[in-house]
Structure 1
Amino acid sequence: MQSSVEAIFAPQPAPEGYAEHIGTGLTLRRSASRANAQQVHQLRPHVVEMAAQYDRLTMPVEIIHGDADTIVPMHIHAEELIKDIPNGALTRLPGMGHMPQHTAPQAVVDAIDRAAARAGLR
């Protein structure tokens, strides 16, 4: 489990105690593994259905993506998503991996603030 957590956070280190905090042992239960596999298997039709409506979104959307993310590469998701969202903004985080909410929390806060300002809430 530790090597999986490290891979998810790479190239940044996982926060101290992260694996214990999220209860990695629970993910190893047969029922949890089965439920996760079922969700992944059933996800694509829902994503396709949602994606067909992205161009109708009118609210500000902030996308944050680390350019060193090997779990969900930027060119597969963020760079495609931004093409479909009329009021979207993509922030590329140089050298950041898959977990910017933990490794670059201020970038996430800044994105929330930008979206709120663009929505007229700030």
Structure 2
Amino acid sequence: MQTVRTILVVDDEPAIVHVLALKLTQCGYRVLTAWDGAIALELARANDIDVVISDFQMPELNGMQLAAALRTDPRTAKIPVIILTARGHLLGDNWEDASNVRQVLAKPFSPRALAEIVGRLLPTTSNGDALRGAA
């Protein structure tokens, strides 16, 4: 039996949240959304999240601050994070020091390509079913 995986999408641009939620739902994922990093952190702590997709530049906590906060909590430390940014040059190579940040994507990006990255980040069992909580 396959478990429905939960993806948390965090962006202060409603159009991006809508497009990503639609694409990920079409791929069979359960999608939770947040408009800023503080709300996202609350959602991540209250739900079994498998992957976080977060904008870099947001109110309250930016994407890297959110990733850092997730790393400090044993319940959320292993959740893989994908950072979306229109300002990739500001990140430099610093993101490579964040163990839970697995990918940084520059905007604009392909929602289909992002869905493929999410699929690759989710560990699977030998029968192809996704493992919840492993990473």
**TM-score, length basis structure 2:** 0.33
- Name the structure, 1 or 2, with higher relative contact order (CA <8 Å, separation 6+): 1
The structure in which a higher percent of residues are strand is 2
The structure in which a higher percent of residues are helix is 1
**Larger gyration radius, structure 1 or structure 2:** 1
